[in-house]
Structure 1
């Protein structure tokens, strides 16, 4: 166990200082609003014309009738119908580069939202905390995660100082962990694959409509299993203090095993998706150019619907990932300030190497997992 300061010495610190530390996230939010709104301004007329025409033709010649209901629920069709249309150039393969970018992006979005859900399940939080990531998730489906991620990370950092996570309160509740990975595979990753695997584009469109609802579907699908697990755990009573201490240590080890399984699975899925996407692009292209937009690209005119969507998604993904890396940096900084023997150059080089080799989603997953390992050592 590393030599750390006494937990009693871990203070909340000045709220103003914590807020000041969030300045890079504020910059990300401001840039997201400027860049993404500028791209949307050029994209909206093209989207409006496309929806008005009532059909979209893929490069394969397959024609989709855009007026056809996806959910047969007027509110959902009105809310998500246009959003599903925005994904068609990418999931259809009509634009090869944006197809690779979208595959990598959707795979990386899994660990980002998964981490948000897991953060809400810490013992330091109440049971109602799950509403926070659900609300943020619903918002980023409508507004873009590039805009919403900085807001989430700012709020999370201000509300959850390290002092709130001592005495094993950093641990994620067992009722969330036991079924978390199967739930994510069922409610997120299978619909994600459905965006790319079916031969008929209409089926991909249906899967994308299902995928759009994942911020709500994932926690809803897990809810009954969490309730059953909680009832089962609450029924265990009558243990002595010594037995309770032994049981607590056993549960802590079990929790860490679940956490490792989750973040390693996230990293593997994102890494494989990134590798496949990198191999699928033309030889004269790079994943850097596929994922990262130019700093001033948002000032350029939007030449086509597919081009505008690809440019918007680049800003969306890169700003979400950048915000996540900044947030992890703030969390590492807290640990180092309170005595954890953290080597900045090892962390930075490790994250950079992982991003280059396996993509940003894998780096985010492993970076979050590293923090969990550190918190576990602090509590040991």
Structure 2
């Protein structure tokens, strides 16, 4: 029905984002990277949250209408009898492998966060929460929640071997803005 919308989705979102960035908001990257590095996080979290809500709604609608096993789980033992069923099986495998790769990336990200002492959750929680979220809100929204948790940890927590915390750094720039001198309070 509206499959054509999803085929060009990465391109259309990129174009819309570029147009909005050039027309709605001024570019403050050069100033923000030194004076306000967390400025963009609320906007990013809102965008990811809205996309997650939409993804979750589509997931729930699909599950209620067609069920999970028939729609998303490919049957490896039967051979498709016609072209349409073959394409359907191909898309099922594409779905499984794509989200499998996404979950592996999330697992690597959580592993990095845990080894850096930046993740506040236990391994049991880091394994159980994505499984429960996938069943409840779908893999797209689950991936977005996991990615948002990763971004939150990177932005607001410090590495276990960090010498100074974010609140102890003072950045001073010279008049031309090209040289940055960082001092640490001890």
TM-score by length of 2: 0.72
User: Within 5 Å, which residues of 2 pair with 1:270-281?
Assistant: 270-281=55-66
1:38-72: per-residue Cα shift (whole Å, max 9, x none)? xxxxxxxxxxxxxxxxxxxxxxxxxxxxxxxxxxx
The 4+ residue runs of structure 1 with deviation greater than 6 A are none
- Aligned-residue CA RMSD (Å): 2.8
| Corresponding residue SS for 2:127 | helix
Q: Which residue of 2 aligns with 1:293?
A: 74
Q: Which residue of 1 aligns with 2:45?
A: 260
1:232 Cα offset (Å): 4.5
Paired residues in the alignment total 158
2:129 equivalent to 1:350: yes
Match of 1:311 in 2: 89
**Larger RCO: Structure 1 or Structure 2 (Cα < 8 Å, ≥ 6 residues apart)?**
1
User: Which ranges of structure 1 fall in alignment gaps of 5 or more residues?
Assistant: 1-90, 92-194, 196-207, 237-242
Deviation at 1:235, TM superposition (A): 9.4
Name the CA distance, whole Å, in 2 between partners of 1:235 and 1:372.
Answer: 20
Residue segments in structure 2 that go unaligned for 5+ positions in a row: 159-165, 167-186
- Tell me the SS of whatever aligns to 1:225: helix
Output one character per residue of 1:237-267: Cα deviation in whole Å (capped at 9) or x when no partner: xxxxxx996x41xx51x32211221222222
Distance 2:33 2:140 in 1: 38
2-structure distance, mates of 1:363, 1:264: 11
Instruction: Mark the CA change 1:308 to 1:259 in structure 2 (over 3 Å): closer, same or farther.
Output: same
1:289 to partner: Cα distance? 3.7
**TM-score w.r.t. length of structure 1:** 0.37
Is 1:218–2:3 an aligned residue pair?
no
Q: Which has the higher helix share?
A: 1
